[in-house]
A and B are shown apart, each in its own frame.
Chain A
Amino acid sequence: MIRHIIRKELLENLLSLRFVLSLLLIICLYATIGFVFVSKYTRQTDDYWKRTNENIAAFSERADQLYKLAFYEQEIWRKPRPLSLCVEGFERYLPNYFNSSLFRTQLPEVRSRSNFLLPNFCDIDWVFIISIPLSFVVLLFTYDSFCGERQAGTLRLILSGAIPRHQVFLGKYFGAAFTLAIPLLMGFLINLIIVISSDIVKLGSGEWLRIIGIALISFLYLSMFLLLGMFVSSRTAHSTNSIIILLLVWVCLVILLPRLGRIVSDMYYKSMSHAEFQKKIVENKDQIFSEMRSGKYGEKAFEFHPDRNHPSVNPPAAVRFWNAFSASVGQVYEQHHNQMLAQAFAGRNFALVSPMVIYQQASEIIAGTGLNRCASLYQQIKRYQEQLKEFIISEDQKDPDSLHILFDFNYAVDSWRAISKNPVDFDTVPKFQERDLSLGQSMKLAIWDIGLLVLFNLVFFAASFVSFLRYDVR
């Protein structure tokens, strides 16, 4: 009997105006974003490789003298991801440029072709289409699941037979689910065909598994709205009232609640302002200078002479001073960066009251884009700095003429031969390579978000089921 109900619901929906409009909207959107992605990804990849190759070329030029490698400020760029097709994760507006040397990582910057004068809209990707228009469309399919049939008088006819209510409920749920699956799967296919046939994106088995993962999470998200629609429909007697309530609930869940995160983060987790940041740097530098003047690092710590044996200089004191200076300033940069990241994460975590944000975050983690990726990239760059430093120190040990001291004063390190000036084989020099999380690790990170979506589904399923069992069909 459930199959009959599903078939009936499916046919009814397929012949309705809302299905036609939804199909048109979804196919147009998916086709458009397919073409948009192809041109955008091509440009992003070209830009990325041009910049990265320039950085490597400039880095390799410095391999003629080991100490130069220590002072080279590498320009590390964030690589475009093929799965930004599914979820771009606001990467257009997130930092993609990291200037990093052995002694300090500057604050990451946004250096793309984006226009900071424009409001920050999210790119239209799979997640955008599903989280906003499609979730809205789902409500349009289910707002009159029960109350519509009750108004038409057909619900009591169905239930006056020997059909148990749970079969009617499940039949309607799966009928609506299959109806929505049709345009959704068509959209996915059209989009993937456009992207794959362009030959600019190579999707391996890992990427396919992630796409399937995102598709399953998308289903969980839409199912939640489906059950919400059925719940409200089973609580009202008129379909007009049902659509009104659902619309306003949708507006709150999808549009208003995600914005709470920004408000909370601005109020309670605000990072240093630019003026405070500058002031902190000044204070720290002052502190170091006054310590230097008090003799904390030794005598003549700030003095310099090209001859390291000149009586006016004290290289060990200079090393202590410059390392303290560099660490102190670096600490301010790192603190400011961590505060900025913490502010964003706090806002994001608070916004998880909205299922849309949960869905967005889970998809970003699976696809390897978005805020989590930026945070991971920054940590990887810091680890790479350490790795490069160890390499330079170990190579430097091979030079008996070197003082074997590394500190943040280029001219002094050069003049005093504090670090070896011997050439080094560039192939042995560690180069930065971003490491992606494995699918298992991504799933582990996303498990709470997926769990929340499952929980929402269970709650709405239970609520709508119980509500329908008690629904007055007269």
Chain B
Amino acid sequence: MIWTITKKEFLLNLMTFKFTVGTILCIVLMSVFMPVLVNDYQMRLQEYNENVTDKQADLQTAKVYMNINMGGRYMVHRPPSILSVFSKGVENQLASSVKIETNTVPGLSARSSEVNPYLSVLPTMDISLIFKIVVSVLALLVACDVISGEREQGTLKLILSGTVARHQVLLGKLLAGQLTLLVPLTISFLVGLSILLFSPMVDLTASDWARISLIYVASVIFVSAIYNIGLFVSTLTKRPAISLIAGLFFWIVFIMVVPNAAVYFASQIAPLELEEKVDSQLELIMQERQAEVKKIREEIPGPGGNEVSNFYDDFQFYVLVCDKEGMEWRRKYHAALSPLYIKYADKLWQIEHLHFKSLLQQKQLTNNFSRISPISMYDYIMSNLADTDTASCQYFIDRAKAHREEVIDYLRLKTDRFSSASYFTQCTEADMVVYQEYLDGKILEDDFQKWKEKKIAQMIPLDLRDFPQFIYQPSVAKSFNRAIPDLALLFFIGVLFFVLSFVTFLKYDVR
């Protein structure tokens, strides 16, 4: 009997105007937006590839090890997530590249030089919006007159006057509604997936396929939860118009009011400090660092001796040649200074990390408040699975930090803890002899200039074949672990509202 009711309801739903319009709209929106989103992804991917290639090329021109460490020469980049077409998350809000240098520890940021702040007036678009908005409205439209509509038409009392049990009727309607909604969801999903697959530069790996499957499952659970909410509202009212209005009011509250209110409440309960307070703490640390730098300069007064530097590429420089005294001074100076900067980079990071923890705490609070809304929960699940949530950005930063440690260890090894001449020069003993002769006046200025130019032309870049490689491989299992609680909660909400519908329907007056 349940199957008969399901079949009847399903076929009836398929022939309704709302189903036709809703399905067509989903397909049209998917067909319009997916190519645009894929194109946007391709552009970001291209930019990422260019950045990586440029930085690799830049790194290959380093003449001395100090150049790797200076002025943001070496950066690592986070590749755009292909599944950001499904959910943009916070990917566009945060910087996607970080500097690797001894002076700073990488951290999440959204500075104006890295992210365009003016774009915050423009809301972002992704595929989850189509499911969140259009399919959820369709779910409410399908569910709102399931019980109250049949009551109004008079057919519900006819069905129940027979030997059909109420639970059979409700289960049949539940299954039919779910199946009805699966049709536009699946068709639009398949349309979007085909567009994605046939796009150039898109190469889906096994983990991407796993994520896409989970995204589909999450969307099904979400739509089912919304349907069950609509079903529950339908069992509370006697007219479909009233259940539709009530359902849509809740929908507006879930989609618009709850997320914004959650941000407000979280900011009241866990307010953030002014950035100036953090800046002043950082300033204190930097003053402390400056004081220690001054001490080092007093202990190792200089610049010692004589040297000739060569500048290139925005104050990248190396010492072309120096005398013995200059060499000794530089070796001691860098051996003392570089570890100091590394030590203070960690101290600065501690302060920034504390501030970052307060941001995370506020975010966590916001997420918890907004979990009142199934639509917010669905959002979190989608961004977790698409790898565009804060946790995945944080993972990138953690990898960048680990890579920085590897680079520092590499530099320590290659330059004997920054005390080796190779840290700042390629000058040889023979070069030092020539320079000393120049200083003693035994070589003329013009000849020395020619020798200098020849020396610059002969400079060879460092052999960096053993330079540590940056590895960034997000894990599907970790994304899924993050998404599981919200997925379970969403499923539970669906079940809860179905149980409530069941209880209410048992007492429903069908006359």
Report whether A124 and B257 are in contact in the complex, using a CB–CB cutoff of 8 Å. yes
| Distance in angstroms between the alpha carbons of A149 and B317 in the assembled complex | 83
Q: Can you list, as one digit per residue, whether each of A213-253 has a CB less than 8 Å from chain B (1) or not (0)?
A: 00000000000000000000000000111011101100110
| Distance in angstroms between the alpha carbons of A36 and B268 in the assembled complex | 10
Report whether A348 and B272 are in contact in the complex, using a CB–CB cutoff of 8 Å. no
What is the chain A residue whose CB lies nearest that of B108?
A117
| Distance in angstroms between the alpha carbons of A279 and B50 in the assembled complex | 12
User: Is B433's beta carbon under 8 Å from chain A?
Assistant: no
Q: A251-B134, A259-B125, A275-B51 are in contact. Are A29 and B257 (CB under 8 A)?
A: yes
Report whether B137 and A343 are in contact in the complex, using a CB–CB cutoff of 8 Å. no
| Size of the chain A interface, CB-CB below 8 angstroms | 84
Minimal beta-carbon separation of B400 from chain A (angstroms):
15
User: Is B4's beta carbon under 8 Å from chain A?
Assistant: no
Q: Which of B36, B94, B125, B257 contacts A116 (CB 8 A)?
A: B94
Minimal beta-carbon separation of A253 from chain B (angstroms):
12
| Distance in angstroms between the alpha carbons of A39 and B123 in the assembled complex | 26
Chain B contacts to A: CB under 8 angstroms: 17-18, 21-22, 25, 29, 33, 36-37, 39-40, 43, 47, 51, 54-55, 72, 75, 77, 89-90, 93-95, 97, 108-114, 116-125, 129, 133-134, 137, 141, 145, 240-242, 244-246, 248-249, 252-253, 256-257, 259-261, 263-264, 267-268, 271-276, 311-315, 359-360, 362-363, 366, 390
Report whether B313 and A282 are in contact in the complex, using a CB–CB cutoff of 8 Å. yes
Minimal beta-carbon separation of A132 from chain B (angstroms):
5
Taking CB atoms, residues of chain B closer than 8 Å to A95 are: 112, 117-118
| Distance in angstroms between the alpha carbons of A128 and B261 in the assembled complex | 13
Report whether B121 and A133 are in contact in the complex, using a CB–CB cutoff of 8 Å. no
Report whether A241 and B17 are in contact in the complex, using a CB–CB cutoff of 8 Å. yes
| Distance in angstroms between the alpha carbons of A414 and B93 in the assembled complex | 42
| Distance in angstroms between the alpha carbons of A259 and B127 in the assembled complex | 12
Report whether B363 and A132 are in contact in the complex, using a CB–CB cutoff of 8 Å. no
User: Is A374's beta carbon under 8 Å from chain B?
Assistant: yes
Taking CB atoms, residues of chain B closer than 8 Å to A8 are: none
Q: A29-B257, A255-B133 are in contact. Are A270 and B111 (CB under 8 A)?
A: no
Minimal beta-carbon separation of A352 from chain B (angstroms):
12
Q: A140-B248, A244-B17 are in contact. Are A109 and B111 (CB under 8 A)?
A: yes
Report whether B314 and A286 are in contact in the complex, using a CB–CB cutoff of 8 Å. yes
Given contacts A95-B117, A109-B112, A121-B259, 16 further A-B contacts (CB under 8 A): A90-B120, A111-B275, A113-B274, A117-B108, A248-B21, A248-B137, A255-B129, A256-B29, A256-B125, A259-B129, A260-B125, A262-B124, A263-B33, A282-B313, A340-B117, A343-B119
Taking CB atoms, residues of chain A closer than 8 Å to B264 are: 36, 124
List 12 interface pairs A-B (beta carbons < 8 Å), by A numbering: A25-B253, A107-B113, A113-B272, A113-B274, A116-B93, A255-B133, A262-B125, A263-B36, A263-B40, A267-B40, A340-B112, A348-B121
Taking CB atoms, residues of chain B closer than 8 Å to A256 are: 29, 125, 129, 133
| Distance in angstroms between the alpha carbons of A144 and B240 in the assembled complex | 14
| Distance in angstroms between the alpha carbons of A255 and B54 in the assembled complex | 39
| Distance in angstroms between the alpha carbons of A351 and B273 in the assembled complex | 35
| Distance in angstroms between the alpha carbons of A259 and B123 in the assembled complex | 5
Q: Which of B39, B112, B145, B261 contacts A108 (CB 8 A)?
A: B112
Q: Can you list, as one digit per residue, whether each of A315-341 has a CB less than 8 Å from chain B (1) or not (0)?
A: 000000000000000000000100011
Q: Which of B89, B94, B256 contacts A133 (CB 8 A)?
A: B256
What is the chain A residue whose CB lies nearest that of B145?
A240
| Distance in angstroms between the alpha carbons of A283 and B244 in the assembled complex | 62
Taking CB atoms, residues of chain B closer than 8 Å to A120 are: 93, 120, 123
| Distance in angstroms between the alpha carbons of A86 and B133 in the assembled complex | 26
What is the chain B residue whose CB lies nearest that of A54?
B276
Taking CB atoms, residues of chain A closer than 8 Å to B55 are: 275
| Distance in angstroms between the alpha carbons of A299 and B116 in the assembled complex | 41
Taking CB atoms, residues of chain B closer than 8 Å to A281 are: 314
User: Is A471's beta carbon under 8 Å from chain B?
Assistant: no
Q: A94-B118, A94-B121, A259-B129 are in contact. Are A51 and B18 (CB under 8 A)?
A: no
Taking CB atoms, residues of chain B closer than 8 Å to A251 are: 133-134, 137
Q: A109-B112, A273-B47, A285-B314 are in contact. Are A116 and B359 (CB under 8 A)?
A: yes
Report whether B36 and A262 are in contact in the complex, using a CB–CB cutoff of 8 Å. no
Q: Which of B121, B257, B259, B315 contacts A371 (CB 8 A)?
A: B121
Minimal beta-carbon separation of A28 from chain B (angstroms):
9
Report whether B260 and A340 are in contact in the complex, using a CB–CB cutoff of 8 Å. no
Taking CB atoms, residues of chain A closer than 8 Å to B242 are: 17
Query: Which 10 pairs from chain A and chain B are nearest by CB?
Result: A93-B120, A344-B118, A259-B125, A116-B110, A262-B122, A282-B314, A107-B112, A274-B114, A340-B116, A347-B122
| Distance in angstroms between the alpha carbons of A372 and B124 in the assembled complex | 20
Report whether A265 and B122 are in contact in the complex, using a CB–CB cutoff of 8 Å. yes
Q: Which of A47, A93, A136, A244 contacts B274 (CB 8 A)?
A: A47
Taking CB atoms, residues of chain B closer than 8 Å to A271 are: 116
Minimal beta-carbon separation of B370 from chain A (angstroms):
10
Among A68-122, those with CB < 8 Å from B are: 89-90, 93-95, 107-122
| Distance in angstroms between the alpha carbons of A262 and B93 in the assembled complex | 13
Report whether A371 and B118 are in contact in the complex, using a CB–CB cutoff of 8 Å. yes
User: Is A289's beta carbon under 8 Å from chain B?
Assistant: yes
Q: A117-B390, A132-B256, A140-B245 are in contact. Are A343 and B117 (CB under 8 A)?
A: no
User: Is A21's beta carbon under 8 Å from chain B?
Assistant: yes
| Distance in angstroms between the alpha carbons of A259 and B40 in the assembled complex | 14
Minimal beta-carbon separation of A109 from chain B (angstroms):
5
| Distance in angstroms between the alpha carbons of A262 and B366 in the assembled complex | 25
Q: A262-B124, A262-B125 are in contact. Are A94 and B113 (CB under 8 A)?
A: no
User: Is A434's beta carbon under 8 Å from chain B?
Assistant: no
Report whether B252 and A132 are in contact in the complex, using a CB–CB cutoff of 8 Å. yes
Minimal beta-carbon separation of B252 from chain A (angstroms):
5
| Distance in angstroms between the alpha carbons of A258 and B125 in the assembled complex | 9
Among A160-191, those with CB < 8 Å from B are: none
Minimal beta-carbon separation of B198 from chain A (angstroms):
19
Q: A117-B359, A244-B21, A286-B314 are in contact. Are A275 and B75 (CB under 8 A)?
A: yes
| Distance in angstroms between the alpha carbons of A244 and B241 in the assembled complex | 12
The CB with the most chain B CB atoms within 10 A, among A21, A118, A122, A241, is that of: A118
User: Is A61's beta carbon under 8 Å from chain B?
Assistant: no
| Distance in angstroms between the alpha carbons of A362 and B462 in the assembled complex | 59
| Distance in angstroms between the alpha carbons of A47 and B271 in the assembled complex | 14
Taking CB atoms, residues of chain A closer than 8 Å to B22 are: 244, 248
| Distance in angstroms between the alpha carbons of A259 and B37 in the assembled complex | 12
Report whether A275 and B359 are in contact in the complex, using a CB–CB cutoff of 8 Å. no
Q: A239-B241, A289-B311, A343-B118 are in contact. Are A121 and B260 (CB under 8 A)?
A: yes
Q: Which of B110, B120, B125, B145 contacts A94 (CB 8 A)?
A: B120
Minimal beta-carbon separation of B24 from chain A (angstroms):
10
Minimal beta-carbon separation of A419 from chain B (angstroms):
26
User: Is A368's beta carbon under 8 Å from chain B?
Assistant: no
Taking CB atoms, residues of chain B closer than 8 Å to A243 are: 244
Taking CB atoms, residues of chain A closer than 8 Å to B33 are: 263
| Distance in angstroms between the alpha carbons of A132 and B311 in the assembled complex | 58
User: Is A123's beta carbon under 8 Å from chain B?
Assistant: yes
Taking CB atoms, residues of chain A closer than 8 Å to B21 are: 244-245, 248
| Distance in angstroms between the alpha carbons of A282 and B122 in the assembled complex | 31
Report whether A341 and B118 are in contact in the complex, using a CB–CB cutoff of 8 Å. yes
What is the chain A residue whose CB lies nearest that of B99?
A278
User: Is A261's beta carbon under 8 Å from chain B?
Assistant: yes
Report whether B54 and A347 are in contact in the complex, using a CB–CB cutoff of 8 Å. no
| Distance in angstroms between the alpha carbons of A109 and B109 in the assembled complex | 12
Taking CB atoms, residues of chain B closer than 8 Å to A116 are: 93-94, 109-110, 359
Minimal beta-carbon separation of A26 from chain B (angstroms):
12
| Distance in angstroms between the alpha carbons of A124 and B257 in the assembled complex | 8
Taking CB atoms, residues of chain B closer than 8 Å to A348 are: 121-122
Minimal beta-carbon separation of B87 from chain A (angstroms):
11
Q: A90-B121, A243-B244 are in contact. Are A248 and B36 (CB under 8 A)?
A: no
Taking CB atoms, residues of chain A closer than 8 Å to B111 are: 109
User: Is A355's beta carbon under 8 Å from chain B?
Assistant: no
| Distance in angstroms between the alpha carbons of A259 and B119 in the assembled complex | 11
Report whether B137 and A344 are in contact in the complex, using a CB–CB cutoff of 8 Å. no
| Distance in angstroms between the alpha carbons of A289 and B315 in the assembled complex | 10
